[in-house]
Structure 1
């Protein structure tokens, strides 16, 4: 069954555009992309819209903050093509991604809580002359094999320098921090490619303490995204009801 286009007041492209701070070209682009239903035409070929088109525009603009422009476009296109189940599937995928992002954040916070203050190595043989820890003592302290640390190095999780006298890998305090964080996340089931960007965030923040502010902002972004999804769902439901 096709959409129930309303027979009320006709709207021009500029009427839709002004209400949302858009250009008339943006309105035409949205129609061509399938975000809006096809416009009616006057005898002279000018586009005319109805309250249904206005509802579609409100739904799309409300969906974008929570789902992103690309997914919001796909959702509206599916609805306008009558494939409502496909639209719901896209929405479910966005919610699943948000849940996955929340779990990642929880894993990082849990890993940070589990990290104990790094103690200075006791044996003299565990420290290079230039300062830092060799691979054997660090692997032993973490309860892993040296080969694992070398694998983490290839994945970019740790970046040890080389001792100028022996050529051995030397891990400074930042490397030890990164290795311990990687170890906690690996124990939590995270893959190396998932851990690498999190380690990069720690480095960018300048350590664990500055990362706390970043984690707080991360929480805020996820909460804002969740609320935006609710707002988008409300407008989409209103549009679905109007379509009939």
Structure 2
């Protein structure tokens, strides 16, 4: 096996050989080498790069890592491997898995909070928005509570250009109502914040529910991509590390 591997490593591959396998440009292959994604290539007497099956395997490992880890982390993983810092490469992989787990926990918290929301109709919005005092009275809270929620990013009023007073438009009132329901349910502010952020991005509860289904799918896709990348890297380390 060792003799066969040594023989294979003496096989010369051109940049175009690596590029064609993955639909890349030869310049991209050269850029990957300069970034440390590929090990440094030997040069022919005429100055041309002489790649080997090891370089082809490194490129396959990188492209397999890319969907799960993203370009910067996948680059850092391969660079660490080629610098002999395998433990650092494994630490970077662990960080990506930890981030995926954190994303799953955030999704779970958002879904749990969503189940506790009362979907009943809200009062019609005030034309032009409402001020902090009337909104606080409508919710049965103090104006100071709304200011605290604003500091936490849960509610984002705009300011009247003439008076500087806070004005809560329809979306800000919705966010305040959501925060109020969840606070009454015992949720801390740091657990409410992700829901409000996703609710704001989606534009309401119904769009958010559809977005959560998509979020589930994306996390599952990323989880499988991490597994695929890990398998490809293990193959590369075993055969060429």
Q: TM-score, normalised by structure 1?
A: 0.79
CA distance in 1, matches of 2:111, 2:14: 52
Q: TM-score, normalised by structure 2?
A: 0.80
Determine the structure 2 residue equivalent to 1:124. none
Does the CA-based 8 Å contact 2:128-2:169 persist in structure 1?
A: no
What whole-Å deviation, never above 9, does each CA across 1:179-234 have from its counterpart, x for those lacking one?
Answer: 24335389545538x82x64343234331012111111111111111111011001
Equivalent residues in 2 for 1:64-103, closer than 5 Å: 64-103=66-105
1:206 is the counterpart of 2:209: no
Distance 1:159 1:69, change over 3 A: closer
SS of the counterpart of 2:7?
Answer: coil
**Greater mean alpha carbon deviation, residues 213-222 or residues 68-77:** 213-222
Equivalent residues in 2 for 1:102-117, closer than 5 Å: 102-117=104-119
Q: CA deviation at 1:161?
A: 7.6
Distance 1:135 1:160, change over 3 A: farther
Determine the structure 2 residue equivalent to 1:34. 36
Distance 1:111 1:7, change over 3 A: same
Does the CA-based 8 Å contact 1:35-1:73 persist in structure 2?
A: yes
- C-alpha RMSD over aligned residues: 3.3
1:216 is the counterpart of 2:213: yes
Listed as ranges, the gaps of 5+ residues in structure 1 are 122-126
Determine the structure 2 residue equivalent to 1:23. 25
Determine the structure 1 residue equivalent to 2:154. 157
Determine the structure 2 residue equivalent to 1:242. 239
Equivalent residues in 2 for 1:50-199, closer than 5 Å: 50-118=52-120, 134-140=135-141, 145-159=142-156, 174-182=171-179, 184=182, 187-189=186-188, 191=190, 195=193, 198-199=195-196
Distance 1:12 1:119, change over 3 A: closer
